[in-house]
A and B are shown apart, each in its own frame.
Chain A
Amino acid sequence: MANEQRIKPDLQFVKDVQAAGGEAVKKCYQCATCSVACPLAPPETPFPRKEMVWAQWGLKDRFEGDIDIWLCHNCQTCSDLCPRGARPGDLISAIRNITYRDLVTPSIIGDWMSSPKHLPKLIAIPAVLFLLIWLITTGFKLPQGEIVFSKLYPGDYTIDPIFILVASFVAFTFFKGVTKLWKSFGKSTPSTLQIGGKTKKPTLIESLKAVIVDEIGTHSKFNDCGNDNTERYKGHLSLFYGFVALAIVTGVVAVSHWGGKIITFIAPLGHTPMPLWSPVKLLANVGAVALIYGLTMLTRRRINVDPAKSTSSYYDWYLLGVIWAVGLTGLGAEIFRLAGVPSLAYPTYYLHLISVFMLFAYLPWSKLGHLVYRTTALVYAHQAGRLPLKREEEKTFLV
């Protein structure tokens, strides 16, 4: 038979999927309720139903280049409606988690990131590193006088080189990952045949712009799915803009500091510690508050969710935990600094550095990797014309 597909069930993959958050996947009996409910499901390849059967049968290779996994908003409508509690939404998260683990080298980080038993190692790396620096700079003592963190960690010689190295490593890793993903999408995503008016294929820039402006910037699709997603929408959006604000602050500080060495008049702009009235500092504080607000919303949602409908994996909790640590230690360091309590301010800053390192250095293997991979997928989809179905009517679900 010409179109016969050889099926090779991979038991280990089924077990992996179950361990990565899709424990209920075997319950699916292919009734297609999920595909009917999901606005992302294209008619010819029912989503996420096909993913369910692939996962059940251990067809690992099918997931290679499955772009739909990345287009999903995880609105949980499918899991909510599933009559057997197979939780398709969790399966999609599980497949993403497996991708974070396996997509790029060094795979040892992927392994360490996949299970809480490796968490101590992940903490130990930055903890030891920054402890060492503390030992070198002050001999493990608290500096006297005004609390200035660069007394402990001089930016030019410690923080900046370390994080520039980390950033380069992460950027290089993402470059590998994105390239790999992009190629794999090419293998299995058909470019959509447009019937009617001829449309020009958008350029990469156009696609990138469309994705960032129309989707990521506004989170406009978040509430397009069936379920009420308000809590998640608010949480995710404020968390996202909190990060954007903090990224701008970091950018301003970095540019003015290093740029200030050449163009001297911009140097004071980023000089730390900043006065509280500085617009940059204001932005940083607004960002931190948005971060905490977003975290609260998202954490509350995960705690209150019905475990029969959706569960949270280690990947979910790792990311929430690390961002909580970043936010709380960051705010804490600032408050203790302003309050003039060096015995609390400096150690908190130390913890802040550890958590920031954990957030960024392991980013490609963490759930936050979706920031890049999902964007890649959205751009690819935009290029290929793989668009979600137009909503013909208001979907209402009676559960």
Chain B
Amino acid sequence: MAEKIGVYIDESSVAPLLSAEELVAFVKAKCAGACPIVKSHKRLSSPDGVAMIKADVESGEIDAVMLAGTSPRVDWEVFDFGDKVIVDRVNLREFVTLSYKNPDGSAPVAGQPVPRELTSMVQDYLRMGVVKLQKMAKPNPEIPETNKTILVLGGGWTGINAALAAAGAGYSVVLVEKEAALGGKAANLYKTFPLAYPYLEATDTGIDRLIGLVAGNSKITVKLSTTLKLLAGAPGLYEATLVTGGKEETLPIGSVVLAAGWQPMDGEALAAYGYGTLKNVVTSAEFEAMVKAGAIKRPSDGKAPKTVAFIVDVTKAMEAKPAAVAEEAPAEAAKPAEAKEGEEAGPVFTPIKTPKHLAYSSELTSLVALKQANYVREKLDDAVAMIIYDNMMVPGINERYYRAAQDNPGVMLTKGTVTGVAEEGISLVVSAKDTLLGGDISLAADLVVVPTGIVPATALDPTINLLYRQGPAFPDLQLFDGFADSNYICFPYETRRTGVYAAGCVRQPMTMAQAKEDAAGAALKAIQCIESASRGVAVHPRSGDLSYPVFNFVRCTQCKRCTEECPFGALDDDEKGTPKPNPTRCRRCGTCMGACPERVISFDNYNVDMIGSQIRECEIPPKIEDGGPRVFILACENDAYPALDMAALRGKKWSPYVRIIPVRCLGSVNAIWVADAMSKGVDGVMMLGCKYGDDYQCHFVKGSEICNRRKENIAESLKRLGVEPERVEQYQVAIDEYDKIPDMIDQFMDMVLKIGPNPFKGY
């Protein structure tokens, strides 16, 4: 807890509307006991300003620094005063000076008497800043003794590249492959799309060379015919139980790269193209195997085909979807019911099967068709390859490969929707509509190749077999149809389980060139995870955050809300339901803190009391007519807060009656804050957070969604108290929507003014 706060006011941030001297005088008068030093400076971030603060810190007179000036999003690297003091910022520039407008909408004029609302606002923020520091302590995490070995799951192209990348960075690697040899799917390929300039011809995959590099690398231990039975513990502290031929062994592991790859989709959806009934219809995977084996042959009679048709368009297979789903639906419906009966058995893993896997694979389908059309040209004299596509998806540099294939006289390409494949004598006839000729066409072909859908390993099996309270698999993968994704726009390798980083086709269908980069990226994340765990800090997205949730178990009622709501499965529990924290799994979002009705969970520098005290520190005018209403904005630090900053920097103004309080995530918002605010007579609370739902943008996946659920409960409680539930509202804001935020605030204010003052005002 900070007891001796040095308060520094940045003149350049408050001028010309406000006088820094007056603000200094105000803090001195109001908080003299807590703040032995109160100073102002022309520009705090200048070398002179920083030197001034440093001198005070070194004198030992203060244990905390409060900087009232610019947004905490700028100059944070300038205000580094070492471990001895806590530093916090009060955003007067963006949230007061730049965004202030008078209640009538006019702009304040410098030199004129300071408007009452402006004075009230800046004084509130200063008092809130001081009380916030008073409730803050320096986090002091326990530093665990970590394992540094990286477990790579899957010995295919991606896994091997990840292992080599991690070993290259100096880390020990255990490379686990369930088959008897390394290489995975790449070992079955005749060639792959071009990996290097000029990107015109398919090339050898080079997998044999990589397998050789793995064998010769002393840092990499290869475990063949091995599966991961159990992954217990937490990042930096994992115990992986591996099974090799019935024999179990347990290894200490730091973090995991998941490169478990994919399986070809079963043929059901391809029945639309005669696959399964017509002998000479094969999948691209089967065709690849045929070429790898040496020769292109028609399965029916073993003769070389003269014409080979490649189907890239999958419209018909996708249309066949309703029937397939109808079959599966009852099975899915039955499963949850079973689960309810045997609740103790824990979550049930349901494999995800969908024709959508075919659509997701479209980029590869296009490229594979081009590649295999070239096989036809390479292996058979005067044979023609025909490709029927709806969309030829060849992003990026692969456009060059596409062009090269187009230039081949024996490769015929047409846009079209394939309507069917039928037998006609010994050959097949592919019918298509909406083609480049403008009409319906049919093509005779000796062999028809249909695409291969990529089904990620995680759609069929938990794969990572975690010993977590929330179950062995990644949660909510239905959202991604089984791909080990977590929709992190900016963090591709992240999964919902800290310490496990996905790469390659288990994450998203991709080319080998992309998978190689993916492998390196995931390996770096795995290393970052181990290093962060070793220093007791968060990995992501609050990289480097020293704080961690602290549990006051005395008051815990074992309600399990925290263990259930944690989006990352960070908390296990004992038989009684007492939560067991795993700090290295934790991402410090505070969702558990927001969940806890007993306020058991806190962070040293972020807790229920800290925000509650800030709310209480604001002066609420007893009458709305005299001093105006008051509204709190709880703003998510990740998107909403930067959006507010940007709005202010771009000259947007908003109501002078709002007070903005940053929160780590809306998931950390505890209902008690709203109750505190309402009982104090605040007229409304706006919660600004990220988009939620299937296309969520929440940096902690579930935070804004959980907040929205809790809001419903808050609304119920407010109704019972006779307070209008509209006074508490949640808004979804993206970081680039700065232009919308001022209108949101003003509309909310209009609504508040319309329904009138909070009935609790003045009590």
A-B Cβ contacts below 8 A, count: 60
A1-33 vs B: 1/0 string, CB under 8 Å?
101111111011011001000000011011000
Minimal Cβ-Cβ distance residue in B for A8: B444
Return chain B residues, CB-CB under 8 Å to A57: 412, 414
Q: Is A342 among interface residues, defined by CB-CB distance under 8 A?
A: no
Closest CB in chain A relative to B434 CB, distance in Å:
13
B276-298 vs A: 1/0 string, CB under 8 Å?
00000000000000000000000
Return chain A residues, CB-CB under 8 Å to B410: 11, 14
Tell me, in angstroms, the Cα distance from A56 to B406 when the chains sit together: 9
Return chain A residues, CB-CB under 8 Å to B386: 9
A11 and B409: CB pair below 8 A? yes
Known contacts A18-B409, A27-B407, A57-B412, A11 near B440 by CB under 8 Å: no
Return chain A residues, CB-CB under 8 Å to B307: 9
Q: Is A48 among interface residues, defined by CB-CB distance under 8 A?
A: no
B406 and A4: CB pair below 8 A? no
Return chain B residues, CB-CB under 8 Å to A8: 444
Minimal Cβ-Cβ distance residue in A for B440: A4
A6 and B444: CB pair below 8 A? yes
Return chain A residues, CB-CB under 8 Å to B382: 11-12
B437-449 vs A: 1/0 string, CB under 8 Å?
1011111100000
A9 and B384: CB pair below 8 A? yes
Tell me, in angstroms, the Cα distance from A27 to B402 when the chains sit together: 10
Q: How many residues of B contact A (CB 8 A)?
A: 24
Closest CB in chain A relative to B120 CB, distance in Å:
61
Q: Which of B408, B431, B437 contacts A26 (CB 8 A)?
A: B408
Q: Is B436 among interface residues, defined by CB-CB distance under 8 A?
A: yes
B439 and A3: CB pair below 8 A? yes
A7 and B436: CB pair below 8 A? no
Return chain A residues, CB-CB under 8 Å to B441: 4-7
B372-388 vs A: 1/0 string, CB under 8 Å?
00000000001010100
Tell me, in angstroms, the Cα distance from A11 to B413 when the chains sit together: 13
Q: Is A159 among interface residues, defined by CB-CB distance under 8 A?
A: no
B437 and A4: CB pair below 8 A? no
Q: Is A148 among interface residues, defined by CB-CB distance under 8 A?
A: no
Q: Is A58 among interface residues, defined by CB-CB distance under 8 A?
A: yes
Q: Which of B409, B419, B443 contacts A7 (CB 8 A)?
A: B443
Tell me, in angstroms, the Cα distance from A11 to B408 when the chains sit together: 10
B436 and A53: CB pair below 8 A? yes
Interface residues of B in 382-420 (CB under 8 A from A): 382, 384, 386, 403, 406-410, 412-415, 419
Minimal Cβ-Cβ distance residue in A for B402: A29
Minimal Cβ-Cβ distance residue in B for A16: B409
Known contacts A6-B441, A6-B444, A27-B403, A15 near B436 by CB under 8 Å: no
Minimal Cβ-Cβ distance residue in A for B377: A11
Return chain B residues, CB-CB under 8 Å to A84: 403
Known contacts A4-B431, A9-B384, A27-B403, A15 near B409 by CB under 8 Å: yes
B440 and A5: CB pair below 8 A? yes
Known contacts A4-B431, A5-B437, A29-B406, A56 near B442 by CB under 8 Å: no
B442 and A7: CB pair below 8 A? yes
Tell me, in angstroms, the Cα distance from A84 to B404 when the chains sit together: 12
Tell me, in angstroms, the Cα distance from A383 to B270 when the chains sit together: 52
Tell me, in angstroms, the Cα distance from A8 to B442 when the chains sit together: 9
A172-185 vs B: 1/0 string, CB under 8 Å?
00000000000000
Minimal Cβ-Cβ distance residue in B for A56: B412
Return chain A residues, CB-CB under 8 Å to B439: 3-5
B442 and A30: CB pair below 8 A? no
Return chain B residues, CB-CB under 8 Å to A18: 409
Interface residues of A in 89-120 (CB under 8 A from B): none
Closest CB in chain B relative to A146 CB, distance in Å:
61
Tell me, in angstroms, the Cα distance from A30 to B436 when the chains sit together: 8
Known contacts A1-B431, A26-B407, A27-B406, A9 near B412 by CB under 8 Å: yes
Interface residues of A in 20-52 (CB under 8 A from B): 26-27, 29-30, 50
Known contacts A9-B384, A11-B384, A3 near B407 by CB under 8 Å: no
Return chain A residues, CB-CB under 8 Å to B444: 6, 8
Tell me, in angstroms, the Cα distance from A3 to B414 when the chains sit together: 18
Closest CB in chain B relative to A387 CB, distance in Å:
22
Closest CB in chain A relative to B400 CB, distance in Å:
13
Tell me, in angstroms, the Cα distance from A188 to B420 when the chains sit together: 29
Tell me, in angstroms, the Cα distance from A245 to B155 when the chains sit together: 83
Question: A8-B444, A26-B407, A84-B403 given. 10 additional CB < 8 A pairs?
Answer: A1-B431, A6-B441, A9-B384, A12-B382, A14-B410, A15-B409, A26-B409, A29-B406, A30-B436, A58-B412
B interface residue numbers (CB < 8 A to A): 307, 382, 384, 386, 403, 406-410, 412-415, 419, 431, 436-437, 439-444
A interface residue numbers (CB < 8 A to B): 1, 3-9, 11-12, 14-15, 18, 26-27, 29-30, 50, 53, 56-58, 84
> Could you name 11 residue pairs across A and B whose Cβ atoms are closer than 8 Å?
A5-B440, A5-B442, A6-B441, A7-B442, A9-B412, A15-B409, A27-B406, A50-B437, A53-B436, A56-B413, A57-B412
